Amino acid sequence: MLFKQQALLRQKLFVLGSLAIGSLLYLVARVGSLDRLQPLCPIDGRFGPRGQDEIPLRALQFKRGLLHEFRKGNATKEQIRLHNLVQQIPKAIIIGVRKGGTRALLEMLNLHPAVVKASQEIHFFDNDENYAKGIEWYRKKMPFSYPHQITIEKSPAYFITEEVPERIYKMNSSIKLLIIVREPTTRAISDYTQVLEGKERKNKTYYKFEKLAIDPNTCEVNTKYKAVRTSIYTKHLERWLKYFPIEQFHIVDGDRLITEPLPELQLVEKFLNLPPRISQYNLYFNATRGFYCLRFNIVFNKCLAGSKGRIHPEVDTSVITKLRKFFHPFNQKFYQITGRTFNWP
């Protein structure tokens, strides 16, 4: 009898012990699970009013692949609806300057999980035929995005085209405008180099830079040459200032973006009211290319097209000196208007 009672007691103790250990293991697992699920901190950079459709920036980072499929046209209307995706008018536009680094800037900003870029130049505001198609046509050219992301497009011809400021103003008078500039003479030579490469591919001849940049009759700078005119930044900016206050512009240093991109990108994040997300991890120097490349995550890296960083032809030093002297007063005025000074000669 005593033996049976002892056996029964041991059995009960075993059951109770098992339950206690099981409960303890459950609690440990549960706490660990909650710790993994609990966000470290709330996202402080929302876009628009709070609501149930808000998407944390960290979540957006994991949905790039999905957005990429939608950009390729592989999404059904039902998928688009379920994921709450939209095609939005840009909240910011890179309006120029040609050969200033507009593509590099756009690709680098796309590192931010709250930014979605238009892959191609739309040329809506500078092309009369496209503009006549209307704002809905323009919106349909934009990539799919989540409601609280910022869509950005770039068309560098916008900066120098007379009709564009008024057209953009009519669409959105509070839009944010990005201008990326390089030292004016270097930019003009880069502009020439791109055109020269296109001519050579077609086996066509082309004038030397010196003959285009300098008027042979007066031996002065040829202001009718488009590459020279584009580099007179202040003349174009003054036309934009008839419609937009200077506070709606941000000037990006294109030369610094090449050698030291992160500080420039952090300034743009601040201008666009984005929480800081682009870090040095996202940018690595490619010694072979001589440029910084982009790292989105541990598996997806991207370098700019091989056409970037073309070797410039040698230009007569006297012509370079003449151009720099010509641009100097315009540069000084540009510094004064924008409040940003560059170490341009």
Positions at the binding site for 3'-phosphoadenylyl sulfate: 99-103, 182, 190, 292, 308-312
pLDDT of residue 2: 45
Say whether the peptide bond before residue 97 is cis (omega within 30 degrees of 0). yes
CATH 3.50.50.60 fits 67-184+232-310, yes or no: no
Domain boundaries of the chain, sorted by first residue = 67-184+232-310
pLDDT of residue 28: 38
pLDDT band for 59, please (50, 70, 90 cuts): very low
Characterize the bridge pairing of strands 176-181 and 92-96.
parallel
CA of residue 68 relative to chain centroid, distance:
16
Confidence check: pLDDT of 49 > 50:
no
- Residue-wise burial string across 28-63, b where 16 or more C-beta atoms lie within 10 A, e elsewhere: eeeeeeeeeeeeeeebebbbeeeeeeebebeebeee
Q: Take residue 286 and report the two structure tokens written for it.
A: 């490619």
H helices, E strands: number in the chain: 15, 10
Ranked by mean pLDDT, the top range of 37-51, 61-75, 263-277, 309-323 is 263-277
Q: Is 243 exposed, middle or buried (0-12, 13-18, 19+ CB in 10 A)?
A: middle
Mean predicted lDDT score pLDDT of the chain: 83
| pTM (whole model) above 0.85 | no
Q: Which whole number is the average pLDDT over 239-267?
A: 97
Query: What are the backbone angles phi and psi of residue 214, rounded to the nearest 5°?
Result: -115, 130
pLDDT band for 305, please (50, 70, 90 cuts): confident
Residues designated catalytic: 99
Q: What would the pLDDT profile of 151-185 be if each residue is shown by its tens digit?
A: 999 999 999 999 999 999 999 999 999 999 999 99
Confidence check: pLDDT of 129 > 90:
yes
pLDDT band for 304, please (50, 70, 90 cuts): confident
Q: Which whole number is the average pLDDT over 218-241?
A: 97
Q: Which whole number is the average pLDDT over 81-92?
A: 85
Which H or E run contains 15?
A: helix 2-37
Sheet with 301-302, edge to edge strand ranges = 283-286, 291-295, 301-302
pLDDT of residue 161: 98
Confidence check: pLDDT of 150 > 70:
yes
Q: Which whole number is the average pLDDT over 231-240?
A: 98
Instruction: In whole angstroms, give the CA distance from residue 46 to residue 67.
Output: 20
pLDDT of residue 82: 58
